[in-house]
Every structure is written in structure tokens, then in C-alpha cells.
Structure 1
Amino acid sequence: MSNNNNAATKADPEAEEPTWPELLGSNNWEGLLDPLNLSLRKLVLRCGDLIQCTYDAFNNDENSKYCGSSRYGKASFFNKVMFEAASDYQVVSFLYATARVGHREAFFFHSQSRESWDRESNWIGYIAVATDEASSALGRREIYVVWRGTTRNYEWIDVLGADLESVQSLMHPPHVSAAKQGNDGDASSSDSDDDNEKVPKVMRGWLTIYTSDDPRSQFAKTSARVQLLTKIKGLIKQYQDEKLSVTLVGHSLGASLSVLSAFDLVENGVSDIPVSAIVFGCAQVGNKAFDQRFKSYPNLNVLHVRNTIDLIPHYPGHLLGFVDTGIELVIDTRKSPSLKDSKNPSDWHNLQAMLHVVAGWNGKEKEFELKVKRSLALVNKSCEFLKDECLVPGSWWIEKNKGMVRDEKGDWVLAPPGDEDLPVPEEY
């Protein structure tokens, strides 16, 4: 009898409403993915929309002296990117990153102007908190950390390289490999290899972007890591009498940073509240030892929304010592009747295309059918993936006249940001 009841529950995604911890992965999303639970579907879409805000706000025009910054300040951020739930959240902090690696132009943008706002860093995300009104209605205070992906082409991932690097600098207490503790500091080659596999490691590129600082920059004097840890611990103290959750979200490069920073938060003391990463198109982050240490924390979870034909999640590869981290929600953009039969790998990796499919995903064996209202035109915000008969122009999210205005002299110039949108260094 109980088996029949369980079958009925699994057949109906709304048969039993999951708790908030369950939506954040406390039970590894068991019974919520196939079929896709409606509440989880809405949460995944909300996370995706928060990520999209970073793409919509990012200034990648190298003619502008504000290239590499957010076009919009924190106070009006959600309204200016037309985020549907703008009244429910407030941006409390911007995150900035630099990277001391060669060829950083592959993923960072810099202005050609001599009057550039900052030559050493880029805006790479934000931290948002649910408003008092929204928190009261939800019965909890949501904290979101949103990492921006790259708007460059696929070359960025090759430039970063696939070397594994120990995360001992993130671990608490600092981890010392067994190979360094042998007799008189020596170890045999085989022992060293065995010990080496036990050391949690991640791709060097992710770690470099996350932990690099630059004293020449007003915005990245401290690393993105220090900015994040400082702000999150402050928010936890500020809302210590409330039920809290921290959700880190990202797509592409931002997805990898979300997994790494979620691990870092829990590794360094965020132990009594749920910490989840909900990510899209995430490359592999670390080795088996990293994955095992990640799994050892009961309050730490990852849900990876992966398009089955997307190439990025297979990189860098198992042969190089990398493994997948987290639970997967595997979708297939080929299921949607509105999308072209594209041969462009960038389309397979496109965030809005994934969100469109999540909205109508009913499993591998069932037909695509929208379960929530979502504008089809969003797919073409930065691509041309929709079929021509949809009559939606490609890459339509752009600044009016590409930011050009006519000044009082009658000349056409790039409009400067308003005072509330000027880049301002964060205070910690």
C-alpha cells in the first residue's frame, strides 16, 4: 500500500509541497526532479533570472570609460534590468574581481579610454537580500550571491587552462598534505602520488579569479573571496534572529565560482544554515577529493541544470582528474518546438534557452509544455536561437542608440552614468 502511495506522490509534482530546506537540497532533491516539482521549477527560474541581471547590467562596450562595470547602481539595479521580482529583493553589495593570469582579456573587459573607471578589475556579481516584506511573507530571509559569467566566446575556457591546484588556502584549518609530513620531509614517488590524490584541488583558473587582489585597484584591493566572506558573515550577524538561507547562483564561469564559493563559505564557518549552489552550464570544478570534502558537509548542496548537448560541463574532463559535483537536472533544448536546430555550441550553452526549457520541461520521455508563464522573447536576448516564425529579433537587449546621446553642443557622445549609477568602491 505504501509503495502505491509513494508512486502517486512521485507521479504528481504537486502531491506534497516540499519544505524550503528540501527545495535547497537537504534531501538531494529526491523526488523533485522527475517530474520537476512546480515550486522547484519556479525557484530554478528565479535563480536564472537573478543571473541574467548580471548580463543585462554589465557594460562590455570598450569605447566607454565605464567598460567592465555595472551600468546600474545598487539602489535601482533590479528596476533598471526589469527584474520581475524587483520589489522583493535589494542589492546590498557589488563584487569585483581581478586575475593575475596571462591573457585575462579573454574574460575581463577594459576600457580603451584613458579615463577608465578602473583598469585592474571588473564587476563580477552582487549580493542580494530579500526585503523585510518579502521575508515576512516567506517566513525566512533569503540571501543570494550572484556571480556573472563571461560574455566572451568559448576561447575563455581554453585560456584559463586545466591545471589542478590545491584549495588548502581556503580550508580551515589550513590543510597540509600528507606528502609534506613524511619522514624528514621526504616521500616516495608512489606515496606522493597517492597523497596527492587525497588533496582537494580545483581548477587553477577558478581559484585565481576568486582569490586574486590588486592593490592598484580601488575596487579589488581585496579579492572577490574576501569581499564575499566579509559581507556574508556580516549579513548572518545582522539577521541572526531570523531563519536564513544562502543561495549562490551562476552560469558558465559564474557557475564554477558559485560552487567554489559555496564550498568556501561552509568550509569557513557557515555551518548552521542551508548553503546551496544552483547553477547552469557549469564546467567541472575540482577533483575527487574536493568532491568528497564538499559532500561531507550536510548543509552544502549543488543543483546543476545541464543541457544534455552543452559542451562546457564536460570540460576540463575526467582524464585530467576532474569530476562532476552536485545533483544534475538534465534538460534538452532540442525538446522545445520554438528553438532552431542550431549547430552553434554557444546556443547550446545559452542561459535564456535553458530557462525557456526549464519552464516547459516534463522529463526526457514527455512532450515539452510550459508549466509556468514565461515570455518566449527572452530566449533571444543575446542570441538568435528562436525560429524565424517567432518574429523576435536576435540579441535585442541593448542600450538605446548603444548609449549615445546628443549633448548641448549638438555632438553625439556616450552618455555618462547618472550619479546613482556611478561605480563606487564597496566599504567593508
Structure 2
Amino acid sequence: MPNWRAMSGEKNWEGLLSPLDEGLRNYIIHYGEMAQATYDAYDSDESSKTGGNSKYPMDKLFSDVGLAKGRANKKYTITKFLYATASVPLFDKDTNWMGYVAVSTDDGKRELGRRDIVIAWRGTSEEIEWVTDASFFLQPAPIIFGDVHDDKPEVHRGFYLIYTSNNPESTFNKTSARDQVLEEVTRLLEIYKNEEVSITVTGHSLGAALATISAIDIAKNMTSRSPVTAFAFASPRVGNSEVRDSALSINNLRILRIENKPDVVPDVPNLGYANVGQVLIMDTRKSMFLKHNLFDFFSSVGMAHNLEVYLHGVSGTVDGGEGFKKKVDRDLSLINKYDDYLKTEYGIPGSWWNKTDKAGMVQQADGSWKLIKINDKTIIISRL
């Protein structure tokens, strides 16, 4: 199996993507699960006492989202919550929980082969974030790239604003997401200055765009000693060709985009934009476990973009994305967390994650989830 440096892209994943190396397959899923945790923990209910924030405290988040048991057990400590501000003209600024910074524990360090700092970003959830996402005009980003006059790097205006805007009225955090990230990474690098440290940034959709931008920022402006890797799931494009070229010129930076062929998001915006980094292509239409309703356009679009479906795709993609064979023993019931994408014969309720008592789904000691209650009747369903 490749060492961690190879899987973090030291040689740009040469020879590891097609066919997909089995060690890298698990490695990508590991970081994808840390991005998924931002969705599972976020409370978008404004009437809730944790509305706009994480439902769970830092010390319990991984266990409460199911990442403390079995194969997916995360040996990390969350050290900081991140809050980002979305704003558009004529609207108030809105600041909400956007993710976290975590660092591997001593046990985790021994397993990983180094101390790993992870920054995980959430995707779009709030209405104002959707509006900001649509602000796709390119603009300079001087606080990241400096005052460049020729061959000027320009980034997606909406993503840049979410990354750099502050909100003096926020009760969560009054500084920008960028300032929060850089401050915490600086602090952790000082604590572990005598150790080998990696910095891994992950996210999905909007979170993948923020992961890409923040990874460039960290590698360009903070550290040249530690390798910085971004695993960007379903990322829209973030900037022009000069952003791509600037990222390529940073020696300690590697970016891997994970894209699902039927997902339209990685193909936008178009005019003036360029892809950044390497790419892993898969096609979840090849999976024999998923529903494929060609007559329900919106369901098909949602399924193609869903992060749990992406992780399912990574778990089984073969032949350069042209086939599927389940390679990782990852619980299929996770596919139905927020919708009903798993074939009916598996008997897993749709959208079970946010239902009362998880709709009868209970996590087992090995990390898998099983349906054990329907209408107060106990039912045991064998592991998928």
C-alpha cells in the first residue's frame, strides 16, 4: 500500500487513480466522512436552541455523528469550530457554523504516520448561502494572491466573500472564516513544530470550493514545510486559469477533485473558469445498489450530487469510473440518510437521519446501522 505521502498527493497521485488504488480509496473515504460530519452535525432549524450552529459539542461531535465506532472511527480531537458569513446586497449578513478544525490524537498519529491537521467545510444549507453561491462573477483575491497586476488570479465572488467576510454583529464569531482557520492552524503548527505534520482540507460542494481556496491560502501564505492536501468532493469551479496556475506553482500543495459523471455541479461555472488540481472520476449510475429513476429529474440530480452517494461511489468505482464493484465494507444504509436513494429491497427508511429516534436505525458496535424498531415492534435486519 502507498505511504501517506503518496496518498496525500506527493507525486500528484501518479499511478493511483486509474485503477483506483485500494489504500487511496479508503483514504479518500476517510476524509469524505469528515466532510459528511459537517452536514450531520449542522442544525439549520432557526427555532432550535442550536439553530445555525453544530448540534453537538466539539468533544462529542464524532461520536454523535457515528464516527467513533468500527471502520470509520476517527482518532482526532476537534480543536475549533468555524463560522462563515454569507452576505448579499440588500440582505443582512448571516453567520453560521461552517465546519471545524481537528488534529489527530497520539493514537491517530501512530496509525497515520504523522500528526494530521484537518479542516472540514460544510456545503450550502442556508438560503442566503444559495444566493451567495450564485454570485459567480470573477474578482481579484489580493489577500490570498497579493497585488498581482499581470496574469491576475481571480476567484468566484460568492465563495471568496463567504471565506473572507466578517460580521461584527454575530453572536457566534465576529471574524472571517479565513482568519479563524489561519489562526488555529498557526496555533497547532506551533504546538507540533517538532513533529511531522500534514494539513488536509476537505469539503463537499460549497465546502469543496472553500476547501480548495483555503488550501491554496494555507500553502501559499502560511507554511512551506508541511504538505497541504485538499480532497474536494463535487466542487464547482473556483477561479480562472491563473488560479489554477498559481496552485500548480506551490510546491507543498496538492488538490484532488472527486467528481461523479452525472453530477452537473463540477461543470459550473463555465465562462472564464478553469479546473484546479487532479481529478478522480466515477459514475454512480453503475452501482447496482442505487435507484435509477430516469423519469424523476430532480431526484436524479440530487442523488448524483449527494455526498453519501459520492462516498458510495468511491467505495466501488472500477475501470476508471466505467464500472462498479463494492470494494469497501461501508454501510449501505448511510446512502438513505437524507433521501431515499437505496433500492427498496434493502428495507432502509428514507431520510432517516433527522427523524425521531433515527426512524428506528441504531448504530452497532462495528459502526454499521441496523433497523431495529418499526412501530414499537423489534425487527432485526441483517447487515447490508
Shorter-chain TM-score tier: 0.7 to 0.9
What residue number does 1:347 align with?
303
What residue number does 1:7 align with?
none
Residue 181 of structure 2 aligns to a residue in which SS?
Answer: helix
Please tell me whether the aligned partners of residues 94 and 128 of structure 2 are also in contact (alpha carbons under 8 angstroms). no
Please tell me whether the aligned partners of residues 20 and 318 of structure 2 are also in contact (alpha carbons under 8 angstroms). yes
Higher strand proportion, which one? 2
Name the amino acid aligned to 2:79: V
Q: How does 1:25-424 map to 2 (within 5 A)?
A: 25-83=9-67, 84=69, 85-86=72-73, 88-102=75-89, 120-151=94-125, 156=130, 160-171=134-145, 174-177=146-149, 195=150, 198-317=151-270, 320-342=271-293, 343=297, 344-364=300-320, 367-398=323-354, 400=356
In structure 1, distance between residues paired with 2:211 and 2:230: 6
Deviation at 1:87, TM superposition (A): 5.5
Please tell me whether the aligned partners of residues 96 and 121 of structure 1 are also in contact (alpha carbons under 8 angstroms). yes
Please tell me whether the aligned partners of residues 98 and 220 of structure 1 are also in contact (alpha carbons under 8 angstroms). no
Cα deviations across residues 30-72 of structure 1 (Å, max 9, x unaligned)?
1001111111001111111111111111111232242110000
In structure 2, distance between residues paired with 1:211 and 1:308: 31
Residue 272 of structure 1 aligns to a residue in which SS?
Answer: coil
Name the amino acid aligned to 1:130: S
Deviation at 1:120, TM superposition (A): 4.0
In structure 2, distance between residues paired with 1:176 and 1:52: 36
TM-score (ref. length: structure 1): 0.78
Deviation at 1:269, TM superposition (A): 2.6
Please tell me whether the aligned partners of residues 68 and 122 of structure 1 are also in contact (alpha carbons under 8 angstroms). yes
Larger Rg: 1
In structure 1, distance between residues paired with 2:227 and 2:162: 25
Cα deviations across residues 312-349 of structure 1 (Å, max 9, x unaligned)?
111111xx200011111000010101111143311110
Residue 208 of structure 2 aligns to a residue in which SS?
Answer: helix
In structure 2, distance between residues paired with 1:313 and 1:357: 16
Deviation at 1:153, TM superposition (A): 8.6
Residues 1:150 and 1:321: Cα distance change in structure 2 (over 3 Å): same
Deviation at 1:367, TM superposition (A): 4.0
Name the amino acid aligned to 1:38: E
Please tell me whether the aligned partners of residues 26 and 298 of structure 1 are also in contact (alpha carbons under 8 angstroms). no
Please tell me whether the aligned partners of residues 120 and 216 of structure 1 are also in contact (alpha carbons under 8 angstroms). no
Name the amino acid aligned to 1:321: G
In structure 1, distance between residues paired with 2:274 and 2:321: 27
Deviation at 1:77, TM superposition (A): 1.1
In structure 2, distance between residues paired with 1:54 and 1:133: 23
Cα deviations across residues 151-191 of structure 1 (Å, max 9, x unaligned)?
369992685321001011223xx3242xxxxxxxxxxxxxx
In structure 2, distance between residues paired with 1:345 and 1:297: 35
Residues 1:46 and 1:154: Cα distance change in structure 2 (over 3 Å): farther
Please tell me whether the aligned partners of residues 249 and 279 of structure 1 are also in contact (alpha carbons under 8 angstroms). yes
TM-score (ref. length: structure 2): 0.86
Which stretch shows the higher mean deviation, 131-140 or 260-269?
131-140
In structure 2, distance between residues paired with 1:80 and 1:256: 26
Residue 353 of structure 2 aligns to a residue in which SS?
Answer: coil
More relative contact order in 1 or in 2 (CA 8 Å, sep 6+)? 1
Residue 231 of structure 2 aligns to a residue in which SS?
Answer: strand
Residue 59 of structure 1 aligns to a residue in which SS?
Answer: coil
Q: Which runs of 5+ in 2 are unaligned?
A: 359-384
In structure 2, distance between residues paired with 1:353 and 1:234: 35
Deviation at 1:132, TM superposition (A): 1.0
How high is the sequence identity, in percent, across the aligned residues? 41
What residue number does 1:10 align with?
none
Cα deviations across residues 99-130 of structure 1 (Å, max 9, x unaligned)?
2324879xxxxxxxxxxxxx841000001111
Name the amino acid aligned to 1:175: D
Name the amino acid aligned to 1:327: Q
In structure 1, distance between residues paired with 2:82 and 2:258: 24
In structure 2, distance between residues paired with 1:359 and 1:330: 13
Residue 142 of structure 1 aligns to a residue in which SS?
Answer: strand
Cα deviations across residues 209-248 of structure 1 (Å, max 9, x unaligned)?
0000011123231100000000001111100111110000
